[in-house]
Each structure stands twice: as C-alpha cells, then as structure tokens.
Structure 1
C-alpha cells in the first residue's frame, strides 16, 4: 500500500504555497532498486509478421486525422548482439552517449537551424538502457505487406527513417533490413514535390528526393525519401513520408531506424496533424521493470485530470517541446533561483526543453549548484560516496534496505508543481550501492528535462492547442 501511495505522490499540485500538499520526504527502496540492476535482461522475441488472413486492419487513407496506440519498451528487451549484463558498464556507456546528444542539441540550437540530423492506435515502448543508451523503442510495420521493425522514438527529431535494401552501408539491426522492392505501397518522392521541400538540405538524384540526417554522436542516415504505409497494431497509415536509408551508421544497436516525434512538419506527429501538430501521450517505462510503457496518438489519448503547462514556441528550434519552468524545490522548500534562469529569450536562447532522447536532466550551472546544495543540506544523514561520471553528488547506500530522502519538485508556469518519485532522481551507477543525484550542470543557458526524470509519469502533448500535460496516471 505504501508503494502505491508513494507512486501517486508525484502527481501535480496547483498550490503556490511552500506548504505543498504532498509529503516533503519519501522512501527510496534501495534493496529492490539494486536487485533490478542485477537482473539478466530477457529480450522480447520478434513477433511474427502480421497476417492479413487472420485480422482485418483498420485502413486509413492517408496520414491525417489518424489515431493509435503502441507499446514502449526498453532496448534491453530488443533482441540485440554483444549485450553486457554489467550495470556499471551499461551506465557508463549510456552517459557517454547522453553527453554527445546534449552537445549535439546545443550545436543545433547555436546554428539557428536543424542540423543534418475516438479509438486510439499505438504501441508498447521499450528502453535502450541495456545497450548504454537512453532511447526507447516501439515496434511498427513498414510497407505492404507490413514488415515488423523496432524503431527508436525521439521527441527532438523530425525525420522518420528505416534502413533499406540495397544497403551500401548498414549497421546491425535485430530485424531483417526492409526491402522496398517487396512492398506494393512504396513510392519514391520526386524532387519537385512539396514533401521534398520540407526536408532540410534535400538533394536530388535521378529525379528522386534525397535526404541526409546526421546526429551528434557521429550516427547518420542517407538515402531516398518515399511515401510508404506504416502499420500500428491493426491500423494502417498510408502515404507517410519516410527516409529509406541506404547508407547508415550509428549507435542504434538493434533498431531499424527512428520515429521522429518532434514538432516539425516531417515528424510522425507533424504528418498526422499537419502544421498545427497532433495530440499524443506517452509513459516511459521505469528502469528495471518488466512491463512496457505506452505511446498513444490521437485526441482520445488526452487524459482527463492532467495538469497542463503551456508549450513555448521557439522559431529557432520548432522541433523541440519547450515548457515554462519557474523554479525547483527540495523537501517542499523552493530553492532561491531567479526565474529568468529558465526563460527562453527573444533571440531563442535558453529555455527548458522536454526530450525523450536525453537521459539526464541538464540545468545551467548556477541553477544546478543551488539545487544540488539544497539537496545535500537535507541528506546529511546519508553516507557520501565519490562522484561518478557526470555526477558530483553520490551516496554509499551499501547495506541499506531503504532510505528517507527529500522530495524533488519542478515548479511550472501557471502553478502546477511536479514532484518526482525517488527513483527518478537518485539512481544506481553500479550494482553495489552507489546512488547519485541524477542531474548535471551545463555551461549553456538551455535546460533539458531528460527521460530519467520523465519515467513512470504519463506525459501528454497537445501540439494543436499548445500544451503539455502531466498525469494523472502512473505507468
């Protein structure tokens, strides 16, 4: 019963008082968390290709006004190769990749333009922690007949793409590489089409639109833009613009490609809802749990009872989801940080981005240090440990069954206060009891709310009306 109450304690309060309606302290289950780091991952077997003889799909003519539901899964549930079962090795690799992503986001923002980079439908979501990455996966069908593929979801990217035959250069993926010659619905996009004009730095080869996207960690995909049918469970979405990658390199480890969920017109969300955006909701599965999360599209995905925070548009980075953050709290006390630290400037600098592809929340150095010091001041009863990787505030919890820790809260514009579960801000960096405060400083003015802090919380994005919602459900 206590665990259930603890999970519910993160739901939002609209009180502006420092005497918040939720507990100022909570319990971190150290023993259970460490036990989860030692679990040997059990990959999800590849399901068989869907058969049109056994079920009738819900056919959709094009990619507008479409709804659906998908499972979100950790990447450690995806059949891969060279999998390490050592938590510290996975952790170090994950943080290394995370640092590269943050650096890439900062370069992208500094350049002022994107780098080459009723019933609902959807899928389970899986996390990529096992391969040293913070990404989450969904499983979709590509082409006609549909070929099942695992793809990374990324709220900071727009292009949808998969590796394609003939593959001049491809990395290893868990499913067979998609062959457009086997799909009756595959259609190349001409260089003169409107779709091609929406692609940054598009090229042309033999009359067909070419795309090229690179990522901050050295990953990239190059190939031909096409219109194709995507399958989500029993729902078909036709005429979706996707990249068919013939030259690809990356740390996607097992995934066939990427499903961009950013706010731009070429993302899956943008194509569903046009320029105004479409509604979607997700729950990122908590680390170490066996159950999947959920990614759901459509107006019906918007929950009743969520606390809504306005989205802020940044013309310099239309793909990113900016939210208004006013401050941070520890143990029910608001940390004295000037609100201007988190504001998006008129020039498009600073601000606060919610990103599924970044693992650890980054804060401007001054804000981070005040936040960290506030947390340290309320955890003097816990034995300290040396810093680990990008974390400078760690604790030696070896031998503890559980510990009492102060709550950690985000104060958003309009009054909502989001209080995190303890497992979302004190995380194990090895399997012997070293836990670290899961935030990091940044020399940039940009703040990024990462997926560790989002885990287990239902998050909804209503792009058409310009809001992001938190709760009311846990996952």
Structure 2
C-alpha cells in the first residue's frame, strides 16, 4: 500500500501538471460567429510560482537590435501579413530608468494613474473623442489628445522598432490601442524632449510630403493652422504638455514591408514626460489610426502578444487577416460613438475559484449615452472595475486565500500578501465571463503582481472612480489577442506567448 508521503508527492505532481495545462482556459459557447472549442471544466485553483516571479523582478535588459529589419519575429513574411517583435519598456535599458524593481513599480503606477485619468477625461466630454458618424468629423481635441497622449499620459509601455522615411530611419515607437494617430518628433526641433534615436529629419526623406491646407485630412481638423500652404496643428493642455507641427504623408517600413502615404504628425515643438521613444503608433479604432488608414491592405486586422513579465522572450505585433488565429474565442466589439478610438467588449461577470461572483451584469454595460462599458487597453497596466464590482471581486478572492499571510496595502492596491520564503502557493483561479458565453481564465502570474523583489505581492486589480471598466495589460500578458476591426470582433487565444 502506498505511503502517505508518496501519495502527497503524486498529488503535488498532478496539481503542477494541471496548472500548466489550465494556465489559460477559454471556454466559448458555440455559435455561428464564435469558433467552437472543446469546453473545459473550470479549475478552482492553480499554482503560482513565487520564486520564479521574484526572480523575474531582477532586471535583465533585452539586447535589442538597432535596425528595424532585425525586429522581424520571423523571416517568412507572406503577402498581407508581417510580424514584429514587441518589447516592454522595462526590458530596454535606455528606457527603464532604474534597476530597482520597487522604483520601476512606483513609476509604472504613476504612469497608470495618468493613463486612467486621461481615458476618463476623454470619455467624460460629449465630443472629446470625436464623432465618426456620417461625414466622419475629426475634431481638434481628439487629434491633439491622441498626439500628446501616447507617453505623456502613461501609455508608453510597449515598444516596436520601425523605419520612418526614405531611406528608412530606425525609430522606437510606442503602440497604443487607444490612440488614433501616428506621430514622431521632427527636425527642425525648436523644443523637443530627449529620445534614444536621432530626431527624424524630413528634409532627408525623399518620401516626406506635407499635407496641404485644402486637403480632406486637414479639413477634418477644427482650428487647424496653415503655414506656407501646409496643414499645421497646435494643441496645448493645462498641465503644460503640448505638441506643434505639420501633418504629413510619409513612408513607414515594418521589417521588409513598406507602407507608403501614411498620414503622420510631424512634431517640431513638443513638451512632456515622453520617456525616450520617437513617437507613437496609434492602433485605435478611429479613422486616422494606423489600422484605420491601412484597412484595405491589412483587412482591418491585427494580433498581439504582450510579453510576460520576468521572461527573456519578446512579445509580437502582427498585421493582416492571416494574423487572426484559427481556434480563438471571439467576443463582439461594442461601438461607442463617443469614443471610436477605444475597443469595447461585453463583460457579463467575474469568477473566482470557478464560482461566479454575485455582481449585476448591468454594472458592465455601456449606456446609450456612451457611459460605462469595458475597454481593452494596452496603455493601462492594472485592470480597473467599478467600485462595487471590484469590492465584491476582491472579497471573493480574499475569502479563498485566508491561508496566505497578508501584507499592508501598497500604492493603489488594498489586497496584498507577504509571500517571502514561499517557493509556490495555491491561488484561486480568476475568470472573465464575456457576453455570449466565452470565459477567459487568467494565468496565475496575471492575478498577483510583485511590488518589490522580496516577496510582497498584490491582487492586480483596482477600483475605478467612475463606471468605466478597463482590462489592462497585466491581465492581457501572455495571451494572444486579435482584433478584427472590419468584422467587429476581439479574439482570445488559442496560443500563448
């Protein structure tokens, strides 16, 4: 008869295997518009590797190739599809600013607060995000917000390297799913923030062409300026940040793929907290985003994998309909006319330990006035939930982790644990219940975030001061996420990063 110790060892092995197999579980309901996956029972618990996660807080900057062509994820590009490596800013030594995890954590939380405040401001005014119905107006505030928002408002989390101009000049740009503009700093630069690469000089590019004042693009801008026949923009904010420059058409190079006549902002005077990248690649749902401009060439589709913290691998950003994976669980995109840049999804509930938390589905609804709802955002780190939903969700998690030693709250977090000395711990699963049936169960590392390098972890969710919910990049890490703008769906999985 097997000994008790042997049975315990066998049980631990089975638990670890189960945690590996169920770290990401997507169980969609069968429907005409959603691919059918084999339903999986919801695991109640999974193992969280404390030691490995703490080890990941020790910064090991990625060696990043200098030339954009070296940033291809693979060398077998096919027509209509190209794939780029994606890096978190903490992995790039010139951007991280500090080798101490607590300092990086505090800086990230400050950026996150600014980002959430920025999104809230954009959604609080009737026209702040512009109106894209009928004649597709394009308002100055939306244009200016997008131009400045990228890094000044805290979205500078994930970077890719592209070529700008002809011949192409390598530049780091931030990707931002909530912005509708592509922009870079340009010479002559009377006032520019410090960036890692030389500032782009349009005079050295054979493909640069300023947009005329009479063009349709310029006419979409309210209060657009005109200088020597070229369309100018000038946007300022109460916090002192601003950008001024020329609207232009330029060639962008992604690996070996060349995209001509992309409308970009060429900023000659910029001020703000911009952390070192040359500019921003807007991936939002609006008319002027990179995805919107290239709808015909990419089919309005892209897919990304955000690099997981503490790993040596890079993430990826892929464009084209071929980037959409077979077997993903698809959730309908919800359109908010007040905020066409943002990708809204229908969330119906939350689960902890395989049990649905008692939260009214109405809390997550987008109202007819464009209030509330649930936004997927690459620029926000920590998922925000309306206060009543967050508190019920948090309390359900705390009730199932009474065996873990608690720690004092840190920053925006009020549910923290002292896991010093633990190799791994068992934690309840956390799931998002989407409208229509799909259920996304998160990996354990997307639930608890290390706030220092000695074992303090916090529940990686926070309360929202408004009715808006935001699914942040910590919860998206390691999961393949696909956006089909043309058919209005967001897909989860089936691949992991």
Provide the TM-score with structure 2 as the length reference: 0.85
1:280 & 1:399 partners in 2: Cα distance?
42
Deviations 1:169-195 (A, max 9, x none): 111111111000100000000111112
1:378 & 1:191 partners in 2: Cα distance?
62
Q: Which position in structure 1 is the counterpart of 2:467? A: 445
Q: Which position in structure 1 is the counterpart of 2:276? A: 254
Kept after mapping to 2: 8 A contact 1:46/1:79: no
1:444 & 1:154 partners in 2: Cα distance?
22
Q: Which position in structure 1 is the counterpart of 2:401? A: 379
Per-residue deviation at 1:287? 1.1
Deviations 1:255-312 (A, max 9, x none): 1000000001110000011699710000000112111111111111110000000000
1:49 & 1:15 partners in 2: Cα distance?
41
Among candidates 30, 47, 50, match of residue 27 of structure 1: 47
1:74 & 1:216 partners in 2: Cα distance?
29
Per-residue deviation at 1:13? 0.8
Among candidates 71, 85, 97, match of residue 71 of structure 1: 85
Per-residue deviation at 1:58? 9.5
Kept after mapping to 2: 8 A contact 1:58/1:236: no
Per-residue deviation at 1:97? 1.1
Between 215-224 and 178-187, the greater mean CA deviation after superposition: 215-224
Whether 1:189 and 2:211 are equivalent positions in the alignment is yes
Residues 32, 9 of structure 1: alpha-carbon distance in 2 compared, 3 angstrom cutoff: closer
Per-residue deviation at 1:252? 2.8
Among candidates 199, 202, 208, match of residue 230 of structure 2: 208
Structure (1 or 2) with the greater helix fraction = 2
Q: Which position in structure 2 is the counterpart of 1:106? A: 120
User: What are the residue-to-residue correspondences of 1:141-290 with 2, within 5 Å?
Assistant: 141-199=163-221, 201-212=223-234, 219-273=241-295, 278-290=300-312
2:237 & 2:47 partners in 1: Cα distance?
39
Kept after mapping to 1: 8 A contact 2:479/2:496: yes
Kept after mapping to 2: 8 A contact 1:9/1:23: no
Q: Which position in structure 2 is the counterpart of 1:62? A: none
Between 195-204 and 313-322, the greater mean CA deviation after superposition: 195-204
Whether 1:474 and 2:496 are equivalent positions in the alignment is yes
Per-residue deviation at 1:39? 3.0
Provide the TM-score with structure 1 as the length reference: 0.89
Residues 7, 391 of structure 1: alpha-carbon distance in 2 compared, 3 angstrom cutoff: farther
Deviations 1:305-352 (A, max 9, x none): 000000000000000000000000000000000000000000000000
Q: Which position in structure 2 is the counterpart of 1:123? A: none
Residues 361, 73 of structure 1: alpha-carbon distance in 2 compared, 3 angstrom cutoff: same
Q: What's the secondary structure of 1:175's corresponding residue?
A: coil
Kept after mapping to 1: 8 A contact 2:164/2:253: yes
Q: Which position in structure 2 is the counterpart of 1:122? A: none
User: What are the residue-to-residue correspondences of 1:418-457 with 2, within 5 Å?
Assistant: 418-457=440-479
Whether 1:352 and 2:381 are equivalent positions in the alignment is no
Q: What's the secondary structure of 1:181's corresponding residue?
A: helix
Kept after mapping to 1: 8 A contact 2:385/2:464: yes
Report which of the two structures shows the higher radius of gyration computed on alpha carbons. Answer: 2
User: What are the residue-to-residue correspondences of 1:117-136 with 2, within 5 Å?
Assistant: 117=145, 135-136=157-158
Q: Which position in structure 2 is the counterpart of 1:410? A: 432
1:213 & 1:10 partners in 2: Cα distance?
43
Residues 267, 216 of structure 1: alpha-carbon distance in 2 compared, 3 angstrom cutoff: farther
Residues 104, 466 of structure 1: alpha-carbon distance in 2 compared, 3 angstrom cutoff: same
Q: Which position in structure 2 is the counterpart of 1:46? A: 66
Kept after mapping to 2: 8 A contact 1:270/1:277: no
Between 248-257 and 144-153, the greater mean CA deviation after superposition: 248-257
1:328 & 1:215 partners in 2: Cα distance?
37
Between 221-230 and 267-276, the greater mean CA deviation after superposition: 267-276
Kept after mapping to 2: 8 A contact 1:104/1:216: no
Q: What's the secondary structure of 1:350's corresponding residue?
A: coil
Per-residue deviation at 1:111? 1.1
Residues 237, 156 of structure 1: alpha-carbon distance in 2 compared, 3 angstrom cutoff: same
1:48 & 1:235 partners in 2: Cα distance?
11
Kept after mapping to 1: 8 A contact 2:390/2:463: yes
1:276 & 1:230 partners in 2: Cα distance?
15
Deviations 1:374-416 (A, max 9, x none): 0000000000000000000000000000000000000001100
Kept after mapping to 2: 8 A contact 1:101/1:216: no
Residues 366, 49 of structure 1: alpha-carbon distance in 2 compared, 3 angstrom cutoff: closer
Kept after mapping to 2: 8 A contact 1:265/1:274: no
Deviations 1:121-170 (A, max 9, x none): xxxxxxx9xxx976100100000000010000000000100011001111
Kept after mapping to 1: 8 A contact 2:374/2:471: yes
Per-residue deviation at 1:213? 5.5
Between 221-230 and 338-347, the greater mean CA deviation after superposition: 221-230
Q: Which position in structure 2 is the counterpart of 1:83? A: 97
Residues 57, 447 of structure 1: alpha-carbon distance in 2 compared, 3 angstrom cutoff: closer
Kept after mapping to 2: 8 A contact 1:6/1:421: no
Kept after mapping to 2: 8 A contact 1:100/1:217: no
* Alignment length (residue pairs): 450
Per-residue deviation at 1:211? 2.7
Gap regions ≥5 residues in structure 2: 1-12, 31-38, 130-140, 146-150
